[in-house]
A and B are shown apart, each in its own frame.
Chain A
Amino acid sequence: MQIKPRWSVPLAAATAAALLFGMSACSQEPGGGSEAPSGDAGALKIGLTVDLSGVGSMIGTPGKMVAELAVEEINAAGGVNGQQLELVVADNGGLPQNTKTAATRLVESDQVAALFAPVDSASRDAAMPTVVDADIPFFYPTLTEGQVCAPYLFSTANTPQQQLQETIPVVQELEGKTKWFLIGNDYVYPRTSLEAAREFIEAAGGEVVGEEYVPLGTTDFQAVISQIRSSDAELLLPVVVGADTVAFEKQAYDAGIGANVLPRLTISYDDNTMAALGQDIAQNMYVGMGYDMDLDTPENRAFVEAYRAKFGDSAPAVTAYSIYVYATIKAWADAVTTAGSTALADVAEAIVGQVNTTPAGEVTILDNRYAQESIHLIKYVEGGEKEFVQTFDNVIPAETCSVS
């Protein structure tokens, strides 16, 4: 005789708990931080979808905070065309399918006048059909590989080509070295970035002596490190992202090819990454990015002061991944004020060519909906200090595509 196992109760409990946790992880958060009470008929709503619970929450969390700050400042200055703004936030949990749901909710239920989405490009693409149907402007204010153009899509943050074009020759000259090894994760952003890098390196008289792509989620980098070491590389350009960054840099440092031996130029390591690496490993890394919280300009000092006043000193660092959310909401508000309308065609006409003075410097959206903006070359030096090597203003994004 066989006794029937009594698995059902604990298993059902575990499954239910798992489902509950899963659901709470992707839940949507209405009315995040807006000043106007939810359902205020007079308020003009804008939608923000960010990753607050997944791997991208290091970008999503400050992204949401700066959006709240932008809306608060716009409202304090009288709103847009006499109307107060209301920010509606939806968490996408880092997943494309959730982004689609979030976009649909924001567009159909909340009837937002514009959608802002500092998310990964797969999530952006998932939200696109919804935005097209609604005929509203879609702002993509985070670092992007570019390559996608549409009349309604405004990509306002840096592209790899902008980050690399001016910085590669300068790093070659400062270090007196020309032989590069390129390493990236195996997906579209690193591949596009390193393709651009190769072009600028060769144009600057440098040479690519090795190029390697590793799968996302790689934990053991020894073989790649051996490859870098057995090449005669003098400089390294890593576009390794997320958790892989820390694993790669720690292991490279231990294996004797840290940035102290082999200087890096990176376009994806932001302040948060550098903090996760620790100051010894970060030392001697160059970063080419459109923003850093320590930029010494009046606009940035005012922004940082307001951000710290609102969210405190322990709030996460705002980086190039998230600052353009702030800059873009402000730019949209100005364009709506100029146009006197929130319709896509009117906003597009007003915003293209509009010069926006932002904490990240002057940002001008061009015909193909990418932005001409400043790029800063920053070097991490001893003791976790930063040195602002050079600023390149008005760096033009490549015409990889156009709006017909």
Chain B
Amino acid sequence: MDVVINEVLSILSSAAIASVIALGLGITFRLMGIINLAHGEFMMIGAYAAVYAGAIGLPWPLGLLAGVLAAAVVGALAEVLIVRWLYSSPELSILGTYGLSIVLIQGVQVTLGKGYLYSSNPFPGAIEVFGVAYPIYRLVLIGAAAVLFLIILLLLNATPLGTKIRAVAADGKLAETLGIRSSRLNLVVFTASAALAGLAGVLVGPLGNVRPDMGADYIFTAFVIVIIAGNSIVRLIPAAILVSTVQNLMTFWIDPMVAKIAVLVIALLVLQGLRRTPGEVTV
């Protein structure tokens, strides 16, 4: 029984991290048609900002805020300078954001160095959950992911801003005829996505290390989740849980390599099975 509870919590906390990363990625992909290969680098920016904030003695919540803000600023600049010009073509967005990711990684290497930075755990220790000792920080992650999804879904579904964003996502030109400035909304959405990446970067810091090329390790799973979720933001949650379940259980019972392959196979099956047509966005 202890093993079951431990596995369930492990899957949930893996899913929490993956879904927060996928949330930012999914928002730009599904609402703007931008495949953002620099998403992992926005995470890295957030993680660096938090470590430096901690180094000058700021408490963790302010570090979190610093990470979110730093990534949002870089994201907004990237939208204005690069991404804005690529909306007409997903292929160009791949090339443009890939270039951006290289510039960000090398820029950080040149200015801040290549070494690993240490991100300490703000909630060390474990707590008993149904008789199983489980790291507190992992539980915080699960809670944080749940709250984030709730906020984003409410924002999209129950506010005027959300309605406008969905209108631009469905048909930008038509929305313009209704008096909606789609370019301004795209800037808001892309910046929000970068801010989410920054937040994710701060959150994963204490689980690993902070280094210029850290983003690449997280992006693979996040893309798979976005693919499985299809044209839906809310479906990112079951998709993240599905991927984490397969990855954790396959690793536990069979082999980590097999687990990684299995996740890819699931993404392929979902793509084949649903044969969705792009366009309509549900949230």
A residues near B (Cβ < 8 Å) are 5-7, 10-11, 14-15, 17-18, 21-22, 24-25, 53, 55, 57-58, 186, 212-215, 217-220, 222-224, 226-227, 230, 243, 246-247, 250-251, 254-256, 276, 278
Contact = CB atoms under 8 A, between A and B. Distances in A.
A14 B209 contact: no
Interface string B217-256: 1100000000000000000000000000001110110011
A127 B204 CA distance: 38
7 contacts: A11-B96, A15-B95, A21-B110, A214-B256, A217-B216, A218-B217, A247-B208
Interface of B: 3, 6-7, 10, 13-14, 17, 81-82, 85-89, 92, 95-96, 98-100, 102-103, 106-107, 109-110, 114-116, 118, 120-121, 124, 126, 133, 135, 137-138, 204, 206-209, 211, 213-214, 216-218, 247-249, 251-252, 255-257, 259-260
B247 A223 contact: yes
Given A17-B99, A215-B260, A254-B124, A276 B10 contact: no
B208 A243 contact: yes
B205 to A, nearest CB: 10
A246 B209 CA distance: 6
B88 to A, nearest CB: 5
A14 B255 CA distance: 40
A14 B99 contact: yes
B6 A226 contact: yes
Contact of B115 (A5, A7, A58, A219): A58
Contacts of B109: 25, 53
A57 B212 CA distance: 13
A5 B114 CA distance: 37
B204 A278 contact: no
Given A250-B208, A276-B118, A226 B256 contact: no
Given A5-B88, A18-B102, 12 more contacts: A5-B86, A14-B99, A15-B99, A18-B99, A55-B213, A215-B260, A219-B207, A219-B218, A223-B249, A223-B259, A227-B251, A250-B209
A217 B82 contact: no
Contact of B85 (A7, A58, A227): A7
A212 B256 contact: yes
A184 to B, nearest CB: 11
A222 B106 contact: no
Contact of B204 (A22, A24, A219, A255): A219
Contacts of A219: 204, 207-208, 217-218
Contact of B126 (A247, A256, A278): A256
Contacts of A24: 106
Interface pairs A-B: 8 shortest CB-CB: A223-B251, A247-B208, A21-B106, A7-B85, A222-B10, A14-B99, A246-B209, A254-B135
A223 B10 contact: yes
A58 B211 CA distance: 13
A247 B207 contact: yes
A14 B100 contact: yes
B126 A223 contact: no
Contact of A25 (B106, B118, B121): B106
Nearest to A276: B116
A244 to B, nearest CB: 8
B183 to A, nearest CB: 12
B102 A11 contact: no
Given A11-B92, A17-B103, A186-B257, A254 B214 contact: no
Given A14-B103, A219-B207, A223-B10, A5 B85 contact: yes
Contacts of B100: 14, 18
Nearest to B2: A230
Given A17-B103, A250-B121, A226 B115 contact: no
Contact of B95 (A11, A212, A276): A11
Given A10-B81, A226-B7, A247-B207, A21 B135 contact: no
A185 to B, nearest CB: 10
Contact of B133 (A25, A227, A256, A276): A256
Contacts of A217: 216-217
B54 to A, nearest CB: 14
Given A246-B209, A276-B116, A18 B103 contact: yes
A230 B257 CA distance: 20
Contacts of B214: 243
A84 to B, nearest CB: 33
B76 to A, nearest CB: 15
Contact of B256 (A14, A55, A215, A230): A215
A15 B89 CA distance: 16
Contacts of A226: 3, 6-7, 10, 252
Contact of A14 (B82, B133, B218): B82
A243 B208 CA distance: 8
Contacts of B96: 7, 10-11, 14
B217 A230 contact: no
A126 to B, nearest CB: 21
B14 A220 contact: yes
Contacts of B14: 220, 222
Contacts of A7: 85-86, 88-89, 92, 96
Nearest to A17: B103
Contacts of A25: 106, 109
A318 B124 CA distance: 32
B17 A220 contact: yes
B251 A224 contact: yes
